[in-house]
Amino acid sequence: MKKYIISIFTIIALLFIPFSGFCESVTHPVVDTGDTAWMIVASALVLLMSIPGLALFYGGLVRRKNFVNVLMQTFMIVAVISIEWVVVGYSLAFGSTTGSLAPYIGGFDWSFLHGIHLGDLSPYFISHSQPSGQIVNGEPLMVGTIPHFVFIIFQMMFAVITPALIIGAFAERIKFKGFVIFSLLWALLIYNPVAHWVWSSDGWLMKLGALDFAGGTVVHINAGIAALVMAVMLGKRRDYQGHAIPPHSVPFVAIGAALLWVGWFGFNAGSGLAADGLAASAFLVTHVATAAAAFTWAIMDWFIGKKPTLVGLATGAVAGLVAITPAAGFVDVTGALIIGVLVSLVCFVMVAYVKPKLGYDDTLDAFGVHGVGGIIGALLTGLLATPAIQSAYKGAFYGDPHQIVVQLIAVGATVLYSGVGTFILFMIVNKLVGLRATDKQEAMGLDEAMHGETAYTAFD
């Protein structure tokens, strides 16, 4: 009798043991609501960087007669590039193709987001932020923990702000029609391929091992080099005297920079695509590097110009944000401090000495801060990436000198492609509709000349 009782209890116990214990374990990814909620917020924060952040930062720096024009340009880019992104941009940047084109550009399978459904999970882990997923039948299961649509929205905001950064180079002297056409073509033909190279699973720079956590090459170097080309090709403003023209509203500059600082936490901490320790680390080093850069720029202002300026402090903060972007998921606090100090020193020299010496009119220092800051950040990532943050990645200072070589290749390829591509697009658009505003329009101000509006109304 006792034997039968033991057998019955044994059978009952076995019923509670999952059958998966006797076969290969396969984890089926599901939506993580915490990751999803964070990524929706991060997407909104990145949009905040463009409007109102960048709009106010750039808008405050120009003269009052061009304030509306800068706001209009920023808002127009948000509208136009958002449409381009869902129509074809996302498919070109993150889609797949076959043959020799696969490492360089995506296909059209996801045009108009065709074939992407409400329940689909994100197929990408960008920026090396997470493992590739479960191994099933010897192949990595490339799906994330957030809905595919959330990933598309997050990446849309990167696609939006990148051409918006170029505005700082040609502010106060570009025709609005030419600006819209150029920005659309640039996003389509320059931004999308570079994003594919670096962040797509079959991109050639991704496979090479280039480290760009949140857009040092894709966003800042890409836009910064385009900014330099545009500034040189358009020529100087009619009344440019080789030095900065005082901004019309320092408070707007400060407010815009503050919004950029806050929004950048979505930009960098969100690029891990999860609400986890890596996001927390990226948040921390982003803030530390920005603080170090802002303080360094203020000290240099104080030492050289005898007075610290709010515009200088804000510019230093933006330089720090730019430089930490590619490194945010790979460096620790020590690395962040080094990046913040060094980028401020280099960008200060570029803005205060090199630009006047060479004589090009980069109106709001889009190249001097974003282009140069992006290059500094990308190269320092190759030196300072530490396995203490992500064990799979380390820079030259932590035992892998090859990483700096890879970073140099990524920087060089982006500089070459963006520079040549922007030059060609400038020539085409300038031939079709013209890009330079007339002397009369420039003297009047682009607010009235292009939009029939003024930022401020005088009352009798």
Residue-wise pLDDT for 142-195, tens only, equals: 568 899 999 999 999 999 999 999 999 999 999 999 999 999 999 999 999 999
In a domain, 354, yes or no: yes
In a domain, 369, yes or no: yes
> Residue 26: exposed, middle, or buried by beta-carbon count in 10 A (0-12, 13-18, 19+)?
exposed
Residue-wise pLDDT for 340-370, tens only, equals: 999 999 999 999 999 999 999 999 999 999 9
Q: How confident is the model at residue 132 (pLDDT cuts 50, 70, 90)?
A: very low
Nearest to 65 by CA among 458, 442, 460: 442
Residue-wise pLDDT for 188-237, tens only, equals: 999 999 999 999 988 999 999 999 999 999 999 999 999 999 999 999 99
Residue-wise pLDDT for 308-324, tens only, equals: 999 999 999 999 999 99
Q: How confident is the model at residue 434 (pLDDT cuts 50, 70, 90)?
A: very high
Distance CA 3, CA 19 (A): 26
Whether 279 has a pLDDT exceeding 50, the answer reads: yes
Beta-carbon neighbour count of residue 369 at 10 Å?
29
The length of the chain, given as a count of residues: 460
Number of domains in the chain: 1
Residue-wise pLDDT for 28-46, tens only, equals: 568 899 999 999 999 999 9
pLDDT of residue 7: 57
Containing domain of residue 235, as a range? Answer: 35-121+149-451
Strand runs labelled E in 25-74: none
CATH number where 312 lies = 1.10.3430.10
Beta-carbon neighbour count of residue 102 at 10 Å?
16
Whether 11 has a pLDDT exceeding 80, the answer reads: no
Q: What is the CB-side half-sphere exposure of residue 167 using CA atoms within 13 A?
A: 29
CA 118 to chain centre: 26
Distance CA 270, CA 392 (A): 20
Residue 436: which H helix or E strand, with range? none
Residue 139: which H helix or E strand, with range? strand 139-140
Nearest to 144 by CA among 249, 234, 304, 36: 36
In a domain, 297, yes or no: yes
Distance CA 297, CA 317 (A): 8
Q: Name the average pLDDT for the chain.
A: 90
Residue-wise pLDDT for 382-424, tens only, equals: 999 999 999 999 999 999 999 999 999 999 999 999 999 999 9
In a domain, 224, yes or no: yes
In a domain, 129, yes or no: no
139 forms beta bridges with 136
**pLDDT average, residue stretch 93-119:** 92
In a domain, 363, yes or no: yes
- Residues of the chain with pLDDT > 90, as a percent, come to 83
In a domain, 154, yes or no: yes
In a domain, 18, yes or no: no
pLDDT of residue 205: 97
